[in-house]
Every structure is written in structure tokens, then in C-alpha cells.
Structure 1
Amino acid sequence: MKTCLTHARIVTPTQTLDDASLLIEDGRIAAINPVSFPTGATEIDLEGRLLLPGLIDLHCDALEKEIEPRPGVHFPIDFAVQNADRRNAIAGITTVFHALSFANAELGVRNNAFAADIARAVHELRDDLLVDNRVHCRYEVTDTDAPALLTELLEHDAIHLLSFMDHTPGQGQFKSDQAYRDYLARSYKKSEAEIDALLEEKHAAGAGAEQRMRELAETAHKHGIQVASHDDDTPEKARFVHDLGATLSEFPINLETARTARELGMATIFGAPNILRGKSQSGSMRALDAVLEGVADCLCADYAPAAMLPALFQLVEQTGISLAHSIRLASLHPARAAGLNDRGAIAPDLRADLIAVRLHEGLPRVEGVWVAGEPRLLSGGLATA
């Protein structure tokens, strides 16, 4: 289990090393530019390709669309999980946290029973998949039924990240009742009467949300699971979730809230699709502005795994930051934010999660993927190297 990757442009956390080599032994990075290669090691000539740490995606709900590509149309969960796994490998993502919504009011796969089935399936299948598949459970805080189910999943180690979200209109992602109504009508074909009932139920359930959040956060911490908050829209909200023990702020709505979250020691997460599109799909702050203002710690795939890698290269062009800096946003920073101290960078003794990338007409193309030192995807001539 010794592999030598040679003639690579290696991107470390601080710089890019030209015509460099890397030695992998027993699933870990043994050395960068070793003096000599061990006898019997397999050599793969990267022929000038970039060698990057595998990307780490803390929030991606694309698996939901793999399972339910159209409203009411469902594929078998195991089939969808395997498809999502391969999409992530091709995108250069070697650790993915599938974001599953526990929110009965949102229907579709975003309901408690269905989301729990998906979480269990990922947990059962993950040893046989290409990349490291993990579960990020998103709890809609106005749902009164989900806490018992989430507690059960935590007790069975089927959750790797827990986040709190509140889609009550008038704050967060939905700035008004009409925005939420449009979402339900568009996504789930709900009638006005059905939406009225859902909104009434959501507002009524909000009264006990804080206590439910506190109890779930305590349970998560007891099991060593990180807690995040979704769509924080005011500094006060950031302080509240920080007091609950949240260490990540996902998609803060505005610059002031993002700054407050970071001042409190929370890692901020923004969407890579936001970078590629140049704007937020919900009208919140641009991820590009967050990077320029120095308040973005991590980028995630959000709903499009394929957007991760191109967004990192686009950031270099748009902001002038180094490639090493840009890559940290999707590797080292999310690894540390999630408590994964064994990966996230090309450095000795870390887990050898690596991707070989070639630029093709300005777009990055993943041609090699190694997970814990094992080749999981080799193409573009590397397969026969």
C-alpha cells in the first residue's frame, strides 16, 4: 500500500509546489518530495496535473433530488445514494455531509420518516461507497415530532452534524409570508387553504422551539456531534445559537451577522453555487462579498456538488487570492469546523484524501481521486499509468 505521485503541482495549505512528488503509505501522506521512494511502490506520473486535498462538503441537499427528482417521483434510496456518491467523487468531493431536512410541513422527502430512512441508509451503505458519506440532519425548529426521532438517530451514531433551521416567514430565508407561500406552491403544489393551515401550525409550534433546540443541542454534544445554525439573519440570532453551543453558522443572511458569528468563534459557511452565479437564490448576501470582506470560512456545495471546484478557481480570478487560500475554503477549514482533524490538507501524517485536477478550457476536471490512499477514480490517462 505504497504509492508515489510524481510530477505534480501540489497545493499545500500555504503554497503551490511545482514538479513535486508525494508518497502515500498505509492510507496516509508519508512525505512531500521524499528523498527516495520505497522499493515496490507504485508510481503514478501526474504529468503536471494539480494535486489538491479532497474537498469536504459540510452541506449538500442534492441527495434529496437524487431520491425525488420530481415531486412525488421516488427512486430507491440505495440506488440514489450510490448515484450521489459517484457524483461527489467526480466533483472532487471526498467527504460529503448529506443535508437531510426533518420538516414535516415541507413534505416530499423533507419529512421526518423519509429523512430518517435516508439517514439510516447512508449509515448502512457508507463502508461500501467511493467517498466518505456522512449525514447532516437539518431540524426545522417548529416541527414538534422530529426531536424524538433525531434523538434516536443520535443514539445510534447515524448523525454526523446537526443544524437548526427556521423557515417561519418574516425572518431568515423567507423575508415575507408571500415568499414562503410561493415556495410551497411552486415546490409542493399546495393550495392556498393547505398553505394557510401549514402557516398556522408553524406559528403555533414556534412557542416551544427554544426548549426543543436546547435539548437537542445537549444530546448532540453528549455524542460529540457539532451543531450548526442555518440562515442566521441578525447578530442576536448568532449570539443565541452560539449560547446553545453552535459552532457553525450556515449561510448568514448579511455581513453584520456573519461578522458577529466569526467574532463569537463560529465558522461561517457559504454556498459555492452562489459564487458561480454571482448571487444568492434567496436574495441574501453574495458569497463573493463574504470572501472579499474576510467573513467566509467555508464553501459548501449546497445543492450542486459540481459547483464546488469551479467556484474555487473562479474565486482566484475574481478576488486575486491565492489558489492555496481558495482551496482551504473547501478542505482545511471545513475539516476543522467539523472536527475532522485527520484530513483537509496535503501535509505529512494526514489521511491521503486527494484529487488530481487538469484545467480544460479554463474549467477544472477531476481525473484522479484517492480516499484514504486508495484510488477510487482514475481517468484521462491515469487509469493506465
Structure 2
Amino acid sequence: MIITNVNLVLENDVVPGSVEVIDGEIRALADSPSRQPGAIDGNGGWLLPGLVELHTDNLDKHFTPRPKVSWPPFGAMRAHDAQVVASGITTVLDAVAIGDERDGGTRQDNLDKMIHTVINSERQGLNRAQHLLHLRCELPHETTVPLFEHYLELPEVRLVSLMDHSPGQRQFVNMVKYREYYQGKYRLNDQQMQEFERSQLALSARWSAPNRAEIARQCRERNISLASHDDATSAHVLESHQLGMVIAEFPTTVEAATASHQHGLMVMMGAPNVVRGGSHSGNVAAHELAALGVLDVLSSDYYPGSLLEAVFLLADDERNALGLAAATRLATANPARSLGLTDRGVLAEGRRADLVLVQRHQGQVYPARVWCRGELAY
């Protein structure tokens, strides 16, 4: 397969040219158009490496499309996979919550089904994108470590994150935002909300610190990548660094993001934050960190289509000095590198032919075609 008449988004530059793919691998790149008959005309669009997504809970929405509605697992997986690929994502870590009881058990009931569906569909070659697992460990629960240990030996587990969403700290320093979020999500009245807050604070005080230390220890022993979550202070970051974190997911302040970068953690921010122009929780905006040069990875988080759009928005944003090649690395080379996936993430000879042909219509970018391992997936 030859794709020509495209702007090749290389690791450090963007050049017009063409690419040749053989047996699912990039065999050659050229800075000139191809004259071969049958070459695919990219119509002057951009050819990017397939996007690498480290943290999305999009699978949840397909397993439970409405409250108290449970969808058949394979159908849910197919819909999720199709949406991911149609967003230009060719490698995805499906994030599943370990130990989260706050939704009345729905997410916990789905946990086994989701994990086994991801694994079985992947091993049977039924997915278009490659699906791996990200265990999101909600620390303030007595069930968290046992559940974590139950799934830890699965080879598909490539990332573990440690999070504590109890009120008054990290993501929810702002108590007004905390109450707005949870009262809206669970339809709690003021009295119920107060009881909920007390419960979460008590659970955090009892379980968060020991669970954090134990899970981090086991991940270090097995060389599984670790991510902090919602660090807000330099003290949080120092603890994350000492525990062996390699990624700082969604730091909530400039202080935490800067400290994470100084300690060698890759700073991840949400692509919806970029598209919306700021955090829905009132925390630091991703574009601020990009302007400071301390943004390393983008994640679509809860909206797969946001990832590609955020790359181009940051590339076009005059408040930073990224440019398209550097902005693309945030969703390709950098997340792949954080997991040790050295066979993808850049357009280079010998790398996997995970490719996204991007076009722009009325200012909006969109994937026109997506290839996974050289096979047309969208």
C-alpha cells in the first residue's frame, strides 16, 4: 500500500510526501509524491501515526448506556471499538475502576464482564484497534487491593493509576464543585450529600495511604507503569515520584504539573480540557501547561473524539510554541514511550503501520481513513 499527496507528520517535522506499507509495517517514506498506479491519494491531508490513548472510561458508557441498563458485552465492545477507531485511536488502554463503590455497584458489577470482554475480543482478533487494560485503583476502599491482585497478572494490564476522589483535596479542593458534581450525578439532597462526604472522608482516612503504598510496591516489582492522579501540591508529586510513578494524570495545579515535570513524570492532561478551553472541575487549563512547556501527554478521557481535535487546537494555539509535530507527539510518541511500546507512535521505517489520514472541513479536523497494522479499519 502506498499513500501519497499527504503531509507526513514526523516526530520533529511536517513534510509533504508519501509512505509505503508492506505486511503491516512502514517500509519507506519519501519527501516526494508517488507515481505508482493504485497509490491512495491523501488529497493534501495530514498523515499521522495512530493515536495512543492511555486513559478512557468510554467502555463504561457502552456497557451501561443508561442507568440500570446493562448492554450485552460483545455488542458494547464492538460499539466502543468502532468509536475509538473512528476517532483515530489505534492503541487504547481501556480504563476500568477497581474498588469504586460509589455508583451503587453498577461499575463493580460490570468489572469482570468488561475485563473479560476486552481480553477475549483482543485475543480472538475481533477488535480493529489494539485494546489493553488500565486499572484505575480507587484507593479509599477495603476491596481495592484484593481486586487489584486478582487482575494484576493479566498480560494485557499495562498501566495502573492510583486515585482518591474524596472531598477537599486533589481534584475536588473546591467543595462547591464537588457538591455540584456528585449531587448532579447521584441526585442527592443536601442531607444525603453530607452523609456521602462523611463516608468518603472516613474511607480515605482508613484505606488511601496503605493501599497506595501496597499497589505501588507490587507494580514496581512487576515493572508495570504507574500513574498518579489529580496531584495538586509539590508534596503529592514528591510522594508519587518516590513511589515510582512515570505518569502524572491530570495534575490540578501549575505547581503540581511543574513539579511532576521536574521529577521526570510525564504530565498528562485531558483533551476535553483543551477543546473546552479549561477544566470542568475548575482546575488548571491544559493550554496553560502547554504554554509553560510542561505538557507531555493528552488523553481523550471521557470523549474519544476530543483527542485528535485537541492535537490540532494546540498546534494552532499561538499561546504555545508546539507546532503540529510536537502537538502530535502528545497523543502518539509520548504515550507509547511511557508504556515501553517502541514499535509505534511515530512515522518511521520499521514501525507499525498504524496510520490516520486527517482532513479539515470548515475548520474542523476529522479522520478520513484509519489503518491498524496496515489494514483499513475506518
Q: TM-score, normalised by structure 1?
A: 0.90
Structure 1 window deviating more from structure 2 (62-71 vs 159-168): it is 62-71
Shift of the 287–43 alpha-carbon distance from structure 1 to 2, 3 Å rule, reads same
Q: Is it true that 1:139 corresponds to 2:137 in the alignment?
A: yes
Aligned partners of 1:201 and 1:237: how far apart in 2? Answer: 23
After TM superposition, the structure 1 = structure 2 runs for residues 240-319 of structure 1, keeping only pairs within 5 Å, are 240-319=239-318
Cα deviation for residue 224 of structure 1 reads 3.1
Runs of at least 4 residues off by over 6 Å:
34-37
Residue number in structure 1 paired with 2:352:
351
Task: Tell me the residue number matched to 2:373.
Answer: 372
2:42 is aligned to 46
Q: 2:167 aligns with which of 162, 166, 169?
A: 169
Q: 1:373–1:247: structure 2 CA closer, same or farther, 3 Å change rule?
A: same
Distance change in 2, residues 1:36/1:301 (3 Å): closer
Q: CA deviation at 1:194?
A: 4.8
Would you say the 8 A contact 1:72–1:108 is kept in 2? no
Alignment of 1:111-260 (within 5 A): 111-126=107-122, 127-177=125-175, 179-192=177-190, 194-205=192-203, 206-260=205-259
**Pairing 1:23–2:12 present:** no
Q: What does residue range 2-13 of structure 1 map to in structure 2 within 5 Å?
A: 3-13=1-11
The aligned residue for residue 326 of structure 2 is 325
Q: For 2:32 and 2:290, how far apart are their aligned partners in 1?
A: 38
Match of 1:336? 337
In the alignment, is the contact (CA less than 8 A) between 2:164 and 2:208 conserved in 1? no
Report the equivalent of 1:382.
Answer: none
SS across alignment from 2:157: coil
- Number of aligned residue pairs: 372
Letter of the structure 2 residue corresponding to residue 346 of structure 1: L
Deviation at 1:65, TM superposition (A): 1.7
CA-to-partner distance for each residue in 1:302-352, whole Å, 9 max, x for gaps?
Answer: 111111111111112223532111111111111111221111010111111
CA distance in 2, matches of 1:145, 1:353: 38
Contact 1:119-1:159 within 8 A present in 2 as well: no
CA RMSD of aligned residues (A): 2.3
- Contact 1:68–1:109 (Cα < 8 Å) also in 2: no
Quote the offset at 1:72 in angstroms.
2.2
Q: Which blocks of at least 5 consecutive residues in structure 1 are unaligned?
A: 378-385
Q: Helix, strand or coil: the match of 1:204?
A: helix
Q: Which deviations, in whole Å up to 9, do the C-alpha atoms of 1:253-288 show, x marking residues without a partner? A: 111110111111100000111111111000000001
Distance 2:19 2:76 in 1: 35
Q: Give the % identical residues.
A: 32
Letter in 2 for 1:106: R
**Alignment-mate amino acid for residue 70 of structure 1:** R
Question: Contact 2:133–2:159 at 8 Å: present in 1 too?
Answer: yes
Contact 2:177 2:282 in 1 (8 A): no
Whether the aligned pair in 1 keeps the contact of 2:167 and 2:200 (CA below 8 Å) is no
Whether the 8 Å CA contact 1:106–1:184 is kept in 2: the answer is: no
- SS of the residue corresponding to residue 101 of structure 2 reads helix
Aligned 8 A contact 2:18 2:33 in 1:
no
The runs of 5 or more residues in structure 2 that have no matched partner are none
Once structures 1 and 2 are overlaid, which stretch shifts more, 79-88 or 195-204?
Answer: 195-204
Correspondence 1:90 to 2:89:
no
Q: CA deviation at 1:134?
A: 1.8
What do residues 208-235 of structure 1 show as CA deviations (whole Å, max 9, x unaligned)?
Answer: 3222222212222333321101100001
